[in-house]
Structure 1
Amino acid sequence: MNQDRLARVQARMAEVGVDAVALTSPVKVDYLTGFAEGTYERFLSLTVFREGTPVLVCPALTENQARRHGIEDIHPWRDGENPYALLHGLLAKRSALRVAVDDEYWAKHLLALQHECPGCHFSLASDVVDYVMRAKAPDELAKLRAAGKIVDDAFAELLTVIRAGQTELEVQATLQGMVAARGGKPTFCQVAAGPAGAEPHHQNDDRPLTKGDVVVIDFGCEVEGYQADITRTIGVQEVSDRAREVYDVVYRAHMAGRNAIRAGVTGGHVDHATRQVIEDAGFGKFFNHRTGHGIGRRVHEAPEIGPGSGDVLMPGDCFSVEPGIYLPLELGVRIENIVSATTEGHECLNAEPSPILITIS
Structure 2
Amino acid sequence: MYPVFPLAHGWRSPSSAPWSSARKSLKILGEQRVVDVTNDLRTARARKTRGEIERLRRATSLVENGLHSFIANARVGMTEIDIAALISGRIVAGGGVPRFVSVTSGSRSALADAYPSGRSVAAGELIRIDAGCTFDGYWSDLGPPSSSESRTLGRARYIWPS
TM-score (norm 1): 0.37
Change (3 A) 1:121 1:196: farther
Which segments of 5 or more consecutive residues in structure 2 lack a partner in the other structure? 10-16
State yes or no: 1:360 paired with 2:159.
Answer: yes
Partner of 1:160: 72
The 5 Å alignment of 1:240-251 reads none
- Cα distance between partner residues in 1 of 2:119 and 2:7: 40
Task: Find the residue that maps to 2:73 and give its secondary structure.
Answer: coil
State yes or no: 1:176 paired with 2:81.
Answer: no
Change (3 A) 1:185 1:203: closer
Task: Find the residue that maps to 1:160 and give its secondary structure.
Answer: helix
> Deviation of residue 102 (structure 1)?
5.4
Task: Find the residue that maps to 1:191 and give its secondary structure.
Answer: strand
- Cα distance between partner residues in 1 of 2:36 and 2:159: 48
Task: Find the residue that maps to 1:200 and give its secondary structure.
Answer: coil
- Cα distance between partner residues in 1 of 2:64 and 2:139: 13
> Deviation of residue 130 (structure 1)?
2.1
How many equivalent residue pairs?
151
What percent identity do the matched residue pairs reach? 21
The 5 Å alignment of 1:263-342 reads 321-322=143-144, 336=145
AA matched with 1:353: S
Change (3 A) 1:122 1:203: farther
- Cα distance between partner residues in 2 of 1:205 and 1:122: 48
> Deviation of residue 217 (structure 1)?
1.0
2:20 to 84, 108, 131: 108
Which segments of 5 or more consecutive residues in structure 1 lack a partner in the other structure? 1-89, 231-320, 323-335, 338-347
State yes or no: 1:151 paired with 2:57.
Answer: no
The 5 Å alignment of 1:1-361 reads 90-91=1-2, 99-101=4-6, 103=8, 107-120=19-32, 122=34, 125-230=37-142, 321-322=143-144, 336=145, 352-354=149-151, 356=154, 358=156, 359-361=158-160
Please say if residues 103 and 125 of structure 1, whose CA atoms lie closer than 8 Å, have aligned partners that are also in contact: no
Two-structure CA RMSD over aligned residues (Å): 2.8
Deviations 1:148-181 (A, max 9, x none): 2222222212212222222212211221011111
> Deviation of residue 101 (structure 1)?
2.5
Larger Rg: 1
More helix by share: 2
> Deviation of residue 123 (structure 1)?
6.5
Deviations 1:295-353 (A, max 9, x none): xxxxxxxxxxxxxxxxxxxxxxxxxx33xxxxxxxxxxxxx57xxxxxxxxxx9xx723
- Cα distance between partner residues in 1 of 2:83 and 2:76: 10
| Higher RCO (CA-CA < 8 Å; seq separation 6+) | 2
AA matched with 2:118: D
- Cα distance between partner residues in 1 of 2:75 and 2:130: 17
> Deviation of residue 197 (structure 1)?
2.2
- Cα distance between partner residues in 1 of 2:26 and 2:159: 57
Task: Find the residue that maps to 2:109 and give its secondary structure.
Answer: helix
Partner of 1:73: none
Please say if residues 167 and 205 of structure 1, whose CA atoms lie closer than 8 Å, have aligned partners that are also in contact: yes
Q: Detail structure 1 runs of 4+ shifted over 6 Å in the superposition.
A: none
More strand by share: 1
Please say if residues 165 and 210 of structure 1, whose CA atoms lie closer than 8 Å, have aligned partners that are also in contact: yes
> Deviation of residue 133 (structure 1)?
0.7
Please say if residues 66 and 86 of structure 2, whose CA atoms lie closer than 8 Å, have aligned partners that are also in contact: no
> Deviation of residue 119 (structure 1)?
4.0
AA matched with 1:139: G
- Cα distance between partner residues in 2 of 1:110 and 1:164: 54
Task: Find the residue that maps to 1:190 and give its secondary structure.
Answer: strand
